Copies of this chain bind each other. A is one copy, B any other.
């Protein structure tokens, strides 16, 4: 008898949904828009409609559905309480209990970056492994920790807040989180561009980078063409990331450390300085930990959401 799980990844613009078999087969994948009007009160009912339609389409017996796993943009406490989610216009409420009463299925929910990490462990770059730390590097820096194939959520739902590790205690400008010197301030797409701007305004470099068109993509592209400033910027980013990766090694000594998110598309030119800095800073026993790029892309969230039931 086959059993099924729905995986739901709720973002500010769209909700990604997946229907999975328990063996990891993705039977169907689709999206619906996120309607954040009226305090986001339509979001869960809209997801319910989408799920019920899919159940009809596949003529599933509801008794064979293990549950609905969700990834949400914010910390979820162990009791199911989710705090303010600005992207969704949600105030604090118990997302697990509320969703269970709407869907009529068991629900599990977690922070989206952590959930994506679980997805990568289940069917992505960490398939077959037991423990993993993932750094997700896009506009910001997020992350997740998986130990023994289970998400580490944290007491306040904020385990895996890897963008807010202090890497520069002497920083004077503030991160979006209110602290100073966070990894996100230097290693996110935004942070990389800010660092480039700082280099270009503080000193004259021979570089093909232009302040007008500056983007992480452009910096990576010029670094690949050996532009000295572009190379320096990517190496600087890699060094900070590699040091943060080494903390993952010292605390958790995981099977693998992944880099996901848009910035991970830079590939080897970023991975190489990360690996060098990781090996320089990690305890010697963990020097050979593989550092790899995530493979599931935007689907990691629906995979991880479903995996919560396994």
Q: Give chain A's interface residues, CB within 8 Å of chain B.
A: 75, 83, 131, 133, 145, 147-148, 150, 152-162, 164-166, 169, 177-179, 181, 243, 246-255, 280-286, 289
Contacts and interface: CB of A to CB of B under 8 A. Distances in A.
Contacts of A156: 253, 285-286
Given A159-B251, A248-B251, A253-B158, A179 B148 contact: no
Nearest to A175: B283
24 contacts: A131-B152, A131-B154, A133-B251, A148-B150, A152-B252, A153-B253, A154-B252, A155-B253, A155-B286, A155-B289, A157-B285, A158-B253, A158-B283, A160-B251, A161-B250, A161-B285, A161-B286, A165-B251, A166-B281, A169-B243, A169-B281, A177-B283, A181-B281, A248-B251
A152 to B, nearest CB: 6
Looking at chain A's contact residues, is the secondary structure mostly helix, strand, loop, or mixed? loop
Contacts of A147: 147, 152
With most chain B CB atoms within 10 A of its CB, the pick from A152, A283, A285 is A283
A147 B253 CA distance: 14
Contact of A247 (B150, B251, B284): B251
Nearest to A166: B281
B251 A251 contact: yes
A250 B251 CA distance: 11
A253 B154 contact: yes
A160 B285 CA distance: 12
A291 to B, nearest CB: 13
Interface centre among A147, A169, A285 (most CB of B within 10 A): A285
Contacts of A165: 246-247, 250-251
Contact of A155 (B131, B152, B159, B281): B131
Given A169-B243, A179-B280, 20 more contacts: A133-B251, A154-B286, A155-B255, A156-B286, A157-B285, A158-B249, A158-B283, A158-B286, A159-B253, A160-B250, A161-B285, A162-B250, A165-B251, A166-B243, A166-B246, A166-B247, A178-B284, A179-B284, A181-B281, A248-B251
A27 B157 CA distance: 38
A227 to B, nearest CB: 25
